[in-house]
A and B are shown apart, each in its own frame.
Chain A
């Protein structure tokens, strides 16, 4: 009897496994074909001197770890990596905090919040290439809107900031633009999280005599824990992929102040035609971002409700 049960359950398990694979097959096949295989190819190429345009007189050669050794001493890569970290280190917390404030503002029961939601979200739906082209004009030191505005509100105290050409401000300029473009999206996610928090919790807290800060700290932030984890991890991944803004606005300059790893990978592969080296950069970059993601997951445990 027990034996029969077990056989039946293994048959069912096997059937379920087969169904499961059938369900996952289309996605898996596509992911393997268009993501995993090219990535493995990139790993393979990273040990060669593959050129973008193949040459009959100079066939691709295996160069061992040469590309990786060069990466260690490549000042552009090291700077790019540093920039990616600075960018993520600033943009992730600032953008998340801003998004949370915006979410709380538009979550109030007052009129017209819907309009404001739409406005805050509008930068998200403009494509990055377009957005970067517009901000490029806005950042112009003498004719750009931003300096003129700062001049007007500070009565000329700000001077002429050469946003995109000054190594001290170029990355900051890109950060501002990125926060501007991305905050609306995080806002919507936080908004969704806020609407899940039962109003009764706030009422109970008020009865208990909690002040606004306390209820924000203990109810809102706690309630948004999973949301925050999600926002932080996904924004970090996006921050490390930074590319479009740099491509349109600064080309990595001035003085490599806005170099990023993905931009460098694209330039080395397409501009300098060195696919081998670009592939090695890809591999190193992947490992770095993977470890950051794993680290974040460890440091920011989600509350699992399953």
Chain B
């Protein structure tokens, strides 16, 4: 087949010219690569460098300090407690959000009257900024004027003064309620999308064969939405690991350090106490943990291939 002269000229220009094929593809991705490097890799490298320096409120010491900050970090019980709190919240909140999200998705996957309105209303918490959600729930939990104590008081038949956000016994349930309220809609909407893609004929066949609802759920629905489910869990797990806004708005990590998470701890160290290099070491450690967990999770759910 002969190539028209004009087309051949153009091909030659791109293949053999200054923007040869191999170079041209790099030219195309260069802007995106530059942006990625600017906003992700360069700051990460800088963070790594700072973590080996001695920058603090006392001095801007940029000389090499070896692993001093990492040694400090290893012996900092407050840091490890905040990490423990973070993991604890993740392990409790994630299953609750998953179960609630799944239940809501199963409820609304079938067509029903007013479904769109209900779905829209249920998704509303997700569109509220976490810091606003935290501030709002702070008012809800106010022991004087908040509706939560009032509602409990109606059931109890007397005035109830639970100091939700200053009492170690009640502060975690308050945080958990806020977090579940705010984030379950995400789980719901993702799972709803997953359920919508399940082959209805398989479910109908199983029903005709007399399979129970539980069996249908575990043997047909769950395997079918497994990739979607895994991604939803992974995203939420990462979100929960870096939870900041809600905790900050509700308790700032208090009372004491009872509700301090790794993000609030890092923030306090970096931006309130200017323990910059130490905070950088904490951040690098968190990045390493998250990277390892993410790689492991992606391999497990087989979507990284």
| A and B: interacting chains | no
Q: Which residues of B contact A (CB under 8 A)?
A: none
A residues apposed to B, CB below 8 Å: none
